[in-house]
Structure formats: structure tokens, C-alpha cells
Structure 1
Amino acid sequence: MSLESPAKKDIYGQYHLKKVINASGRMTILGVSTPRPEVVETVSQGLNEYFEIKDLIDKTGQYIARLLNVENALVVSCASAGIAQAVAGLIVKDDRDLLFNLHSSTKNVPREIIVAKGHNVNFGAPIGTMVALGGGVVVEAGYANECYADHIASLINVNTAAILYVKSHHCVQKSMLSVAQAAAVAQKYQIPLIVDAAAEEDLVTYYQQGADIVIYSGAKAIEGPTSGLAIGRHQAIEWLKRQSEGIGRPMKVGKEGILGLTRAIELYINDPKHETGQQMVSKMQPFIEKLNALNGISAKVVWDSAGRDIARAEIAFDAKVIGKTAIEMVDLMKQGDIAVYFRQYKANEGKVDADVRSVTSAQLDTIYHKIKNIIQGVE
């Protein structure tokens, strides 16, 4: 009895999965992004071949480093794993005993990781947990609404292992020092700087500004398979790489992920097909106009708070008119045969954002009709 190939089956039907329209952006909870066919083909080729993995890691890292004109590069399993391994690498360095006994060792080595208080966020998991996994101890600099170079400099001491800068929309944006300013402090005191740039689109800026290790998600802007990218100074990346024998072992990335991300980076640089912010505006303008025609709904274009070239539709719900709060609308939009996910960070303010990067015009129409049906009480 032959079984039909799972690849040819309707996976939604086979596993009883709900279909999703992803208007929240490149989010881990929804599978992040959909790689280009060339990347999928490379992943398939990688799955069906054997390699000396250390050689594969080294050679692809060298290739990526040449593409980006950086000293060194390494594919990791994801950005959060990259943070943990970067912290561990800068604490352990070449100490083999510490490599094997990172969390049990009583050796007196620098373990403090300075993080701006406004950067000590939960991105789906706490930044502090990633630091702790790497054997580090978070030391918060400044205040929730303010952190300058002097705040970080004042905390540097013999126990400081690194400075961690989190470049993310999750972080406080106002009254925070820039990456370049953090790099200047790091260089003055000869302390390594790690930049978590998971969702950022520019793969070289923070390295050029002086960061020792910069970490990206491979599946977000780059649109690779589930993976991460660490680039930086040669020695710092080599120390990170050594963690494959330590905490990095349960975080290992497969051959298909290494090759898939390498191909995705190559395409990202040499054959960019990125949708610009203005193109996003054009795509969602009819959607916004239709929403504004609904009683109790108002919509407008807003731009990414972290400074990326990303335009979104901000949708405000007047609870007094439609009888439902934005928080209730977020929940109702996830129900039914097709779940619609918005960026819901501002739901407590009565509004949500629709990120259209992974949404087609037809799906925008589906979103509009679902909103209309909910507020008009149509089943």
C-alpha cells in the first residue's frame, strides 16, 4: 500500500491547522517569513548531501564574510541563540575548562553584561534569559526612559564582559544612545560590543559603526530558513564558534539551514527584491480608504518606529461606536476559518497596525471584510 507524499497533501487539512493571514510582520509565532524558491531549492539540496560540518561552517562563514566585507561570519540556529552564544564566547574565550563548565565554574572571570534598562525587553523571551544562558549577568544602565553613553561608562569595571545593545521596535526609542555612541564607549574602555539587530535590514551598518558582534535573524529581513547570522571581528566570532562544544551544542543549526541562509544572504545582497515603504503604501491605500468608510473605524499610514523603511496601516477602533474594544477585535480577528494576526502592541490604546509585507491585495480584502462583518454582527 503506497502512501501519498505528505508534500502533495493539504497540510492544513492533514493536521487540522487553521489558515493564517499574517498582518503582524515577520514574527516567530507565525513562522517568520516565506523564503524565495531559490532558497528552498538550496535547503533541499543541503538536506540530501553529507558534509564535514566544521568545514561547512567555516567555508560558508568565510563566503558570507566576503559578501558583506566583514572580518568573520557564522550561521547560527536563530538570533536569540546567537545572543546566548556571543555572551558565552566573550566570557569563555579560549578557556577550555570554562567552555565545559560555564554555569558551574567558580572561576573569577568577567561576566557582567551592560544593557540599557530600556533595552532589557521581552521579545518573545526575555533578553536577560539569553544573557543568563550565556553565563552572563545583566547590569542595567540608565533608566527605562533614558540611557546615554555616561550611564554605560559609569558601570564599566573589571567584571564587565561586554556591552549589549538591542536594536528593536520592542525597545524604548526616545532618549537612548545610538549604536555608534555605544561603540565609542566600548572602544574607549576596550570592552566588546554585541548588537542584537534581529529584524534589521542593513547587514553592515552596525559592524561599520564599531560593533564586535552583530546578530541578525536569518528568517526575518533576509527571508532565509529558520536560522541566525552572527558577523563581526574575527576573534570574537571564533570565540562564539567554539561554543559548539559548550552551550551551543543544543542550539546547533543543520546543514540545510547553513546553506539556505547563505543562499538567502547572497540573493538579499545581489538580487534584492525588497518591497519599499512607498510600495507598501500604494498596496494598502485602497484598504485604508475602504476601512475609513466604515462607521467607527479610522485608518492611516504609519511608519516603523525603529526607523526601518516599513509602512503600515494603523487601524483605530472606536469602542463607543462599534461596541468592541481593540483588544476584543484582536481576539475576534483570530477566530473563524482564517485567523488574522495584527501587530497588537497598541491595542490598549484602541488601535492596531497591519503590516502588509507578507499580505497580498486579495488578503487585504479578506481582512477588510472580516472587520466589516465583525462590527456589523454578520456571522
Structure 2
Amino acid sequence: MPRQTFIVRGEKTAIIWEPNDPKEEAQHISYNDLYTRVNKTANILREMGIEKGDRVCIYLPMIPELAVTMLACAKLGAVHSVIFAGFSASAVVSRVNDCGAKMLITSDGSYRGSKVLDLKSIIDEALEKCPTVEKTLVVKRTHNEIKMKEGRDFWMDDLYEKSSADFVTVIMDAEDPLFILYTSGSTGKPKGMLHTSAGYMVYSAYTFKNVFNYQENDIYWCTADIGWITGHSYILYGPLLNGATTVIFEGVPTYPEPDRFWDVIEKHKVTQFYTAPTAIRSLAKESTEWVDKHDLSSLRVIGSVGEPINDEAWHWFNDHVGRKKCPIVDTWWQTETGGIMISPIPFVTPTKPTYATLPLPGNSTCFDG
């Protein structure tokens, strides 16, 4: 994040973390607080032997430590590779071994709706086949009983308390790698996409600002998991590079009730809401009373990502969430591009249901038929 962000916006909220259970208090993390957390975590990584160019795999749920560890890797010059925390041990093995990770960061467990998931046992199974991993950092989230292997596994909380809050950012060249992110593997072997420091950050910042009509003091929410490229670009890097306030949501759309999304929007006065057609279609099956009872007047732009949106879902989204006053940015892009390639520009590009419309300025399309 630019140094100017901390000078001008130090006490501004950088991250609103909304936990799985609505009864648990949300966290409002300022840019100053985030700066301290990232510095302390970067020092932990360095003290554990991580240096510029080393690969660090991260297998964490949607908790603040996920964002912090990614940014700490970037600050140190290490290459982070986030693995979606719903993947199996075999999926973890293939990704860790392919990138040659030296360290893995995980948690004791995670919450998903009414369920408590044991993440550490998945990692224990995976690491039996991952010879490059020397050390594992474990974040406390669910406080369930887990096994800790002496000499390999360390509690992040214990190290954090002793870590210094001073850290000098490692200087990176424009083409130095920032992260590796693997595709889902739905069409074959997962491909590791490597994005570099300058180009990726410039493009994610540019597209965030323009596609979502970002303005100072907006509250932006992308419902994706950070384990996917959408989360990298439009929960973390794009918003923070613009000095925005971004929401990180640990839960699921239907827990404890099917109005959780709408409750979060009303609670935090969200101005931009970016979600997937699958979620829209699922929630559209519920009674419209769940959405209509909430005050969504704070919304200015709503968006769709991850797959084509069908006509019925587009109209439901427009009518009941946007209340026919919010432009829908139907976005097309890929893990490989790192950022949105085709999308309407809100309040500028005429929209049409199910169409992503035009390439963003700076891009051109070529169809190979």
C-alpha cells in the first residue's frame, strides 16, 4: 500500500471484518492498525527464515489474518500462494509441491455456517507429502484441539506478541513476482498463474476505481473468497491501493437466515456490492420478503462476477437488490488476466441484461473463431 495512504488515511477503516456468527462483534481495522499487524507478521516470517523470493502457501479461512499474511509476504518480498481453505489434502499437496513452498500458514479450524471445520488435520495429512515445507504457522480461530508437530508447527499468536512493529519494506523490481495463484483445475490440472508486482497492482487499482465508481468514504463489499483471484484483486489489493474500506465476510449467504447478505449491507452501509450469479440465483429462490425488508439505500453500484449471469437472475438482482437505481457491472475476466477486462463503466456505459458490454479502456478484444 502506498505510504501516502497511511499519512492521509491512517485512522480510516481499511478492513471491516464481518464474522460467520452475526452475534460475534465485527472488527474495524484502521490503516494504521493494519500497518502494524503487517509489519509484525513480516518480522515473524523473516525470523522463521523466509526471505525475498521464497514461496509461502496460505491455507486460511476468511479472517483478518488471511489479508495480513498476504500483505506481510508482499512487504517482505516473499511470493504468497493462497490455497482455498475448502480444498482437500490432495489439492493442497499438488499446489504446495508445484510452487516449492518453504512455509505454510493455516489455522486450527474454521466456521462455515453452523459447522466447525478442522483445517489443521487436512494440513497435517498434506504435509506428509510436501518435503519443501520447513515450518508451519497456525492461527487460533476455533480453538479446537489439534496436533502440533514439534520443530515444525508454531502458534502465530505466541510469535506475534513478541514481534517488533518496525519493518522496512523490501524493495521490489516491477517484474518481481508478487503471488502465484492456481486455477480451479475444473478443466484439467490446476495451472499456477504468476502475477508480478507493478503491473498487477496498477491494473487492479485502476479497474477497481473505475468499474466500481469508487469514491472516498465508500464501503465496498465483494463476497468472494480471497482464495480465488476475485478476492485477491477486489477484496484486498484493488481496494486497499485506493485507500478504500473493504469488507471481508467469513460466513455464508444463508446463515443464520437467508437475509445475511442484506443484513450486512444494511449494517455497514455498503455502497458497492460485488457477488456471483450462483449466489444471486440461490437467494432469488427465497421469498422476496428476506431482501425487501432491509434498507439497501446505501448501494450505488452492484456487480456480477465468476460466470455468465442469466436474464432472470439479472432482473431479480436489479429489481430487488439495486431497486432499479444501481447500475449492474457484469464483469468478465480470468485468473490469468488478474483484473477485469470487459465491463460496463457505471453511469457511463449503457447496460443490457446478461451482456458484459465493452472492453475497459486500454483493452481490445480479438475473437479467434
Under a length normalisation based on structure 1, what TM-score does the superposition of the two structures give? 0.29
**More helix per residue:** 1
Higher relative contact order (CA 8 A, sep 6+): 1
Q: Which entry has the higher C-alpha Rg, 1 or 2?
A: 1
Under a length normalisation based on structure 2, what TM-score does the superposition of the two structures give? 0.30
